[in-house]
Structure 1
Amino acid sequence: MEPIKVQSEGGLNVTLTIRLLMHGKEVGSIIGKKGETVKKMREDSGARINISEGNCPERIVTITGPTDAIFKAFAMIAYKFEEDIINSMSNSPATSKPPVTLRLVVPASQCGSLIGKGGSKIKEMRESTGAQVQVAGDMLPNSTERAVTISGAPEAIIQCVKQICVVMLESPPKGATIPYRPKPASTPVIFSGGQAYTIQGQYAIPHPDPEWVFNDDLIALLSSSSPPQQLSKLHQLAMQQTPFTPLGQTTPAFPAAGLDASNQASTHELTIPNDLIGCIIGRQGTKINEIRQMSGAQIKIANAMEGSSERQITITGTPANISLAQYLINARLGSSEALACSNETTGC
């Protein structure tokens, strides 16, 4: 970030970029239903607000524009987070309202100026704004940036951000900055019976953030015609993952299937809810045939049993074939079509 400093009668009048680090639920709150919240923030503030892509537990939110636009955007974000806190408290016995918290990502070379000699600057910011400010001692992984955490009432946060911007403009970064890029979730996540699970060792553990369930790259491949050059990438994606656990189980933690290194053919069974089977089969069997072709496995779907809400799927092939077939089936259930399928009686 190399902003050009310009002074005007109204105070700071510069264009700069500020980066925020947010968790998945925070990002979801900022985006809003069908992106309506972030669209309104962009329009009302005049700032550019970009959200990093990727299947990551954390995302980078980049806010760029003149300082007045940036401050408006920060105000809207802070008040939105306060609204979320108030809404969450309506179902909680807690009486004291927790503070709003934002995490800025700042080049480490500027953090000394934010702290000041003997901590004088950060102490001044705390006292003059009423916000709590903490500068992380360690740099974020694989970067030369640190997290700066600001907590307090929205008004205090806005005043604190203004002071931080002034310090950052007066003390530009020294040398090249290696920006922090959140790492993708290291463990695969599966979806079963309305619950997300992460693979930990030999067990699938309930996952708190279902918005991170599915790999965007894989869904993009599945929604395309999957030409030959993409199939090798698809195999690579699947082989990088731990094989998936059978669906339909309801215990809090259940054993995850292991990958046998041998190439001997074997059989694996899993269950799919009846209302989602159409999403796996597709219209006239197009999707299940695609999964068979891509995985190389034989896949048989049992007829519906009277009184049962589930269908049995039998997968036969090498461990690699079975692993890929399971991966593709779970990915189909995570596609945008799955919800529509659950509301229809015909295949998608």
Structure 2
Amino acid sequence: ADTGKGGLNVTLTIRLLMHGKVQHPTERKGETVKKMREDSGARINISEGNCPERIVTITGPTDAIFKAFAMIAYKFEEDIINSMSNSPATSKPPVTLRLVVPASQCGSLIGKGGSKIKEMRESTGAQVQVAGDMLPNSTERAVTISGAPEAIIQCVKQICVVMLESPPKGATIPYRPKPASTPVIFSGGQFIDAIHSLNVSNSIFCPLSFLPSFCLLCPAAGLDASNQASTHELTIPNDLIGCIIGRQGTKINEIRQMSGAQIKIANAMEGSSERQITITGTPANISLAQYLINARSELTGC
């Protein structure tokens, strides 16, 4: 593939996975996503439905895709900076995007012995993680990219090159988010898998948030973004605890690292079918840890 000054003169489709949907009274209908379409030249479509997860599909020549990702990444960073203006937090969290990639291409992204993914991390400065499990009822896996906008853009370019050089093998069953059976409320403050203020059909997407009054990043929310540590407890059925802990504790350690929260899992009580989990940290830490635990517990065949 031609990766020179002219870029890759091919058409490609990249899928993003986002969480949360809220309606924001101060946003004009479709404004942000419309501007992204016009400025990048890429086709940007957002899946419909009453789902806690939404798929954003970006299609076009690779240079248009790169422009769209640049706009998205810088929009994330802008919202992070705005959210910190009323917060005592001093360290800026990284921008995080999650791609949805056919599982048959993930081996090429990782490379032999992890060589390719290591090369991407070192050359771009972005953190890249390929999920070990396929997304439910699909043959796709999530690829999480985290870092500064410039690092994310360079990383996306390298991922596009790999995907073009190693096309999917066999039929791909795309991941389709399921409608929420019950509403789940998370507070915001951590940017993961969401495009805040990317609005369409009179709705926008907000990090880990389903109601505007619980979004720490929405100016209209009127919610005090307290960073004082607190403790939250939840119970998980015994048959799901293995999915959350992972082999030799790998999954629970990932959740601790990503959320920044302290997480303790109580020992099994005789006669009880549930285990208690205690989460300690800021409200944002706790909310992110809850989300990640819930996501692990919903996986099948883990």
**TM-score, with normalisation over the residues of structure 2?**
0.58
> What is the deviation of 1:11?
3.6
CA change 1:115–1:40 in 2 (3 A) is same
Number of the residue aligned with 1:212: none
Task: Check whether the contact 1:188–1:242 (CA below 8 A) recurs between aligned residues.
Answer: no
Distance 2:200 2:290 in 1: 11
Structure 2 residue matching 1:155: 3-state secondary structure? helix
Number of the residue aligned with 1:238: 199
RMSD: 19.8
Structure 2 residue matching 1:148: 3-state secondary structure? strand
Distance 1:153 1:264 in 2: 27
CA change 1:15–1:268 in 2 (3 A) is closer
> What is the deviation of 1:186?
1.2
Structure 2 residue matching 1:231: 3-state secondary structure? coil
CA change 1:109–1:260 in 2 (3 A) is closer
Task: Check whether the contact 1:238–1:327 (CA below 8 A) recurs between aligned residues.
Answer: no
CA change 1:139–1:89 in 2 (3 A) is same
CA change 1:267–1:322 in 2 (3 A) is same
Task: Check whether the contact 1:260–1:319 (CA below 8 A) recurs between aligned residues.
Answer: no
Number of the residue aligned with 2:153: 158
Structure 2 residue matching 1:322: 3-state secondary structure? helix
Task: Check whether the contact 1:243–1:258 (CA below 8 A) recurs between aligned residues.
Answer: no
Structure 1 residue matching 2:50: 3-state secondary structure? coil
Task: Check whether the contact 2:197–2:204 (CA below 8 A) recurs between aligned residues.
Answer: no
CA change 1:253–1:135 in 2 (3 A) is closer
CA change 1:158–1:345 in 2 (3 A) is closer
- Write out the 4+ residue segments of structure 1 that deviate beyond 2 Å after TM superposition: 188-194, 229-247, 249-332, 343-348
Structure 2 runs not aligned, ≥5 long: 22-28
Among candidates 7, 11, 14, match of residue 15 of structure 1: 11
Provide Cα deviations, 1:248-293, integer angstroms capped at 9, x if missing partner: x999999999999999999999999999999999999999999999
> What is the deviation of 1:113?
0.1
CA change 1:123–1:87 in 2 (3 A) is same
Provide Cα deviations, 1:213-255, integer angstroms capped at 9, x if missing partner: xxxxxxxxxxxxxxxx9999999999999999999x9999999
CA change 1:12–1:83 in 2 (3 A) is same
CA change 1:68–1:324 in 2 (3 A) is closer
Provide Cα deviations, 1:16-42, integer angstroms capped at 9, x if missing partner: 1000001125xxxxxxxx110000000
Show the 5 A alignment for 1:1-348. 10-24=6-20, 34-187=29-182
> What is the deviation of 1:296?
51
CA change 1:243–1:304 in 2 (3 A) is farther
CA change 1:114–1:276 in 2 (3 A) is closer
Structure 1 runs not aligned, ≥5 long: 1-8, 26-33, 195-228, 333-342
Provide Cα deviations, 1:116-153, integer angstroms capped at 9, x if missing partner: 00000000000000000000000000000000000000
Structure 1 residue matching 2:185: 3-state secondary structure? strand
CA change 1:237–1:273 in 2 (3 A) is farther
Distance 1:231 1:76 in 2: 16
CA change 1:185–1:124 in 2 (3 A) is same
Structure 1 residue matching 2:298: 3-state secondary structure? coil
State, as a whole percentage, how many aligned pairs show the same letter.
93
Structure 1 residue matching 2:295: 3-state secondary structure? helix
**TM-score, with normalisation over the residues of structure 1?**
0.50
Distance 1:287 1:120 in 2: 22
Task: Check whether the contact 1:243–1:326 (CA below 8 A) recurs between aligned residues.
Answer: no
Task: Check whether the contact 2:14–2:59 (CA below 8 A) recurs between aligned residues.
Answer: yes
Worse-superposed segment, 236-245 or 185-194: 236-245
Worse-superposed segment, 52-61 or 295-304: 295-304
Distance 2:229 2:245 in 1: 23
Task: Check whether the contact 2:7–2:63 (CA below 8 A) recurs between aligned residues.
Answer: no
CA change 1:286–1:241 in 2 (3 A) is farther
Distance 2:93 2:263 in 1: 52
- Across the two proteins, how many residue pairs are aligned to each other? 287
CA change 1:96–1:117 in 2 (3 A) is same
Task: Check whether the contact 1:188–1:241 (CA below 8 A) recurs between aligned residues.
Answer: no
CA change 1:174–1:127 in 2 (3 A) is same
Task: Check whether the contact 1:269–1:312 (CA below 8 A) recurs between aligned residues.
Answer: yes
Task: Check whether the contact 1:246–1:271 (CA below 8 A) recurs between aligned residues.
Answer: no
